[in-house]
């Protein structure tokens, strides 16, 4: 009798601890996102505006070059183009760091919009299907958004794919994001454990999902494309 009571008390404490861990995890994820937004704002406001001012100054100097310095004109053209290109990179970086207003349009439309923008930028042929789920917490939305970002970046960087299919599937016990490509595939074990300078994209995805009680499955065979499935259980919500 005594043992059973103690066991029950221990179980209750464990459950309390698990709840606290989940709460802390969500705080950590949200704090990371806030920090990303801050860096994005700084990049946009500080670096972006400084580069705009730099470009204008260079253009003014170029316009005022005395005739005897005309030979310097092509050098100025090059530096101005470089300033432009750098500014463009910073803009892209700032945008990537900040997920769009997931809370206003919902996960489904946000992911669909991301696929559309990504297809335009990379000329990948991406088909999206998804249904609007019940409202999900920020941590879950952000997790799926980051997973899609990395999955599509990987397709663009490594897959040499003709087609990509993205699906958001809302089931009764879990929500899943599936990204499938028709590219060259890869050997997951070799790519992640045997390479001295392996990337951190797939590992980061797995960690994000683990933190929220979810999982990542990678099915890939060299020459036959890749299918990535990221799921989060509904009870996290
Ligand atoms: N869709 C894919 N098609 C083919 N190969 C892939 C695909 N996704 C990942 N890979 C392979 O798995 C490796 C690991 O991917 P991961 O995202 O972890 O790292 P990375 O993209 O190389 O670098 P990082 O993401 O850190 O910038 C890649 O280098 C690539 O060889
Ligand atoms: Mg990657």
125-179: pLDDT as tens digits: 999 999 887 788 888 888 999 999 999 999 999 999 999 999 999 988 899 999 9
Are 66 and 129 found together in one domain? no
Task: Tell me if 216 CB under 6 Å of ligand 1.
Answer: no
Q: Which atom of ligand 1 is nearest to the CA of 157?
A: 21
Q: Are residues 58 and 110 in the same domain?
A: no
Task: Confirm or reject: Cβ of 218 under 6 Å from ligand 1.
Answer: no
* Residues 92, 128 share a domain: no
The reported pLDDT for the residue numbered 30 is 81
Residue 180 has pLDDT above 70, yes or no: yes
Residues 54-68: what's their mean pLDDT? 94
> Do 106 and 33 reside in the same domain of the chain?
no
Q: Which residues surround ligand 2, an ion (CB under 5 A)?
A: 154, 199, 201
Give the Å distance between the CA of 189 and the centre of ligand 1. Answer: 12
Q: What is the DSSP string of 53-95?
A: HHHHHHHHHHHT--GGGGGGHHHHHHHHHHHHHHHHHHHHHHH
Is the same domain home to 81 and 109? no
| Sequence-separated (6 or more) residues with CB below 8 Å from residue 20 | none
Residue 191 sits in which domain range? 102-236
The pLDDT of residue 198 is 66
pTM for the whole structure: 0.76
- Contact status, residue 122 vs residue 162, Cβ threshold 8 Å: no
Looking at the DSSP assignment, which residues form a beta bridge with residue 177? 168, 230
Across the range 196-216, mean pLDDT stands at 85
Q: pLDDT at residue 79 above 70?
A: yes
> Is residue 47 within 8 Å of 104, Cβ to Cβ?
no
Q: How far is CA 229 from CA 83, 96, 122, 155, 209, in A?
A: 40, 22, 22, 14, 11
Domain with 171 in it: what CATH number? 3.30.565.10
Pocket test for ligand 1, best of 150, 158, 160, 185 (most atoms within 8 A of CB): 158
Q: Are residues 121 and 85 in the same domain?
A: no
- The tally of domains found in the chain comes to 2
Cβ(186) – ligand 1 distance below 6 Å: yes
Position 237 scores a pLDDT of 47
Atom of ligand 1 nearest to the CA of 228: 1
Per-residue pLDDT at 55 exceeds 90: yes
DSSP classification of residue 149: H
Question: Is the model's pLDDT at 229 over the cut of 90?
Answer: yes
Of all protein residues, the one whose alpha carbon is nearest to atom 26 of ligand 1 is 199
Please tell me whether residue 43 adopts helix, strand or coil conformation: helix
C-beta of 149 in contact with ligand 1 (< 6 A):
no
Ligand 1 neighbour 157 (Cβ under 6 A)? yes
- Banded pLDDT at 194 (limits 50, 70, 90): low
Q: Which burial class, exposed, middle or buried, applies to 147 when counting CB atoms under 10 A from its CB (0-12, 13-18, 19+)? A: buried
Separation of 4 CA from ligand 2 center, angstroms? Answer: 50
- From 61, 82, 97, the end of a domain falls on 97
Atom of ligand 1 nearest to the CA of 204: 18
CA of 153 to the centre of ligand 2 (A): 6
Tell me the pLDDT of the chain averaged across its residues.
88
How many residues are recorded in the chain?
237
Mean pLDDT confidence for 65-88: 94
């Amino acid at each position: 009798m005594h043992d059973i009571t103690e066991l029950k008390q221990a179980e209750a404490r464990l459950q309390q601890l698990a709840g606290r861990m989940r709460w802390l995890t969500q705080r950590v994820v949200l704090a990371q996102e806030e920090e990303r937004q801050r860096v994005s704002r700084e990049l946009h406001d500080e670096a972006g505006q400084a580069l705009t001012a730099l470009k204008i100054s260079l253009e003014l100097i170029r316009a005022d070059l005395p005739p005897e310095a005309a030979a310097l004109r092509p050098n100025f053209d090059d530096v101005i183009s470089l300033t432009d290109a750098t500014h463009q990179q910073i803009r892209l970086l700032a945008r990537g760091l900040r997920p769009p207003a997931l809370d206003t349009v919902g996960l489904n439309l946000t992911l669909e919009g991301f696929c559309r923008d990504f297809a335009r930028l990379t000329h990948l042929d991406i088909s999206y299907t998804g249904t609007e789920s019940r409202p999900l917490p920020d941590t879950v939305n952000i997790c799926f958004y980051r997973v899609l970002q990395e999955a599509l970046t990987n397709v663009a960087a490594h897959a040499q794919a003709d087609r990509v299919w993205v699906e958001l599937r809302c089931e009764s016990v879990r929500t899943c994001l599936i990204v499938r490509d028709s590219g060259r595939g890869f050997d997951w074990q070799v790519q992640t454990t045997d390479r001295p300078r392996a990337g951190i994209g797939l590992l980061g995805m797995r960690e994000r999902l683990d933190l929220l009680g979810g999982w990542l499955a990678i099915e890939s065979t060299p020459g036959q494309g890749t299918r990535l499935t990221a799921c989060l259980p509904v009870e996290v919500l």
